[in-house]
A and B are shown apart, each in its own frame.
Chain A
Amino acid sequence: SALTQPASVSGSPGQSLTISCTGSSRDVGSYNYVSWYKQHPGEVPKLIIYEVTKRLSGVSDRFSGSKSGNTASLTISGLQAEDGADYYCSSYANSSTWVFGTGTGVTVL
C-alpha cells in the first residue's frame, strides 16, 4: 500500500519545513532506496533526492533527505516561492516492486 505523507504543509519564506514519508519494514525500513519527486501542477514529476540523502545534480542544497526506521523525510530549508509544489516519496519494496507516497502539497505563505 501507498507510503503515508501529510496532505499539506506550509511555511513562510526563509523558514524550514519537513515532509515525512512513513512506510513499513517491507519498504522504507528495509532499503535505502527512498527517492523524492517534485511536481508542479500539470507538469511531469522530477527527481530531486535519491537513495535517501543524495541530491540530483543541479538541485539546490536547500533540499535534504534523511531516514529513521520506517520513516523517511525531506527537509526544505530557506523556503522560497518556487518550492511551492506537490512532493512525492517513493521506495523500493521487495521483489523488484516500488511504491509511492500519497503526496504532500507545499504552500509558501
Chain B
Amino acid sequence: QLQMQASGPGLAKPSETLSLNCPVSGGTISTSSYYWAWIRQPPGEGLEWIGSVYYSGDTYYNSSLKSRVTISVDTSKNQFSLKLSSVTVADTAVYYCARYLRDGDSFDYWGQGIMVTVSS
C-alpha cells in the first residue's frame, strides 16, 4: 500500500528557505503514470497547488510562487522535495505531498500533511 508523508522542520524564520521531503513507499516514483505534487493549506483556508514534478525531473509551478519554489525528484531515494525560499508569515500552512494520476487527471492519493509555521 502506498505511503507518503511530508517531513521536515515544522518551524521556519522569515526570509529563510523552507525545505520538505516526501519519501514514497509501497510504490515506485519512477513511473509514467503519475506526477508528484505539493499542495498547501493555510490554517482555516483553502487548498493551493504549489507545483508538480515528473519522475524525469520536469517541473511545473504555480505562477504566483514560481520565483520562490523549487521542486525536485530523487529516484534513487524514491522521494521528491520542496524548497520555498524567502518565506513570510503568509507561508504558514499545512503542506501536503500528493500523487497526481495522469489517467484520471486528479490527485488520487494524499500524504499526511506537515504543519509549517513561519515565525521569528
Instruction: Give chain A's interface residues, CB within 8 Å of chain B.
Output: 2, 31, 33, 35, 37, 44-47, 50-51, 54, 56, 88, 90, 92, 95-103
Contacts and interface: CB of A to CB of B under 8 A. Distances in A.
Interface residues of B, number: 26
B63 interface: yes
Given A45-B47, A100-B46, A37 B96 contact: no
A88 B47 contact: yes
A51 B104 contact: yes
17 contacts: A31-B105, A35-B105, A37-B107, A46-B110, A50-B104, A50-B106, A51-B105, A51-B106, A90-B47, A90-B49, A90-B107, A97-B63, A99-B49, A100-B39, A100-B46, A103-B46, A103-B47
Given A51-B105, A95-B60, A97-B63, A44 B110 contact: yes
A96 B46 contact: no
B44 to A, nearest CB: 10
B110 A96 contact: no
A35 B52 contact: no
Contacts of A90: 47, 49, 106-107
A102 B73 CA distance: 29
Contacts of B49: 90, 97-100
Contacts of A46: 110
A97 B107 contact: no
Contacts of B108: 47, 50, 56
Nearest to A100: B47
Contacts of B62: 97
Contacts of A47: 106-109
B104 A100 contact: no
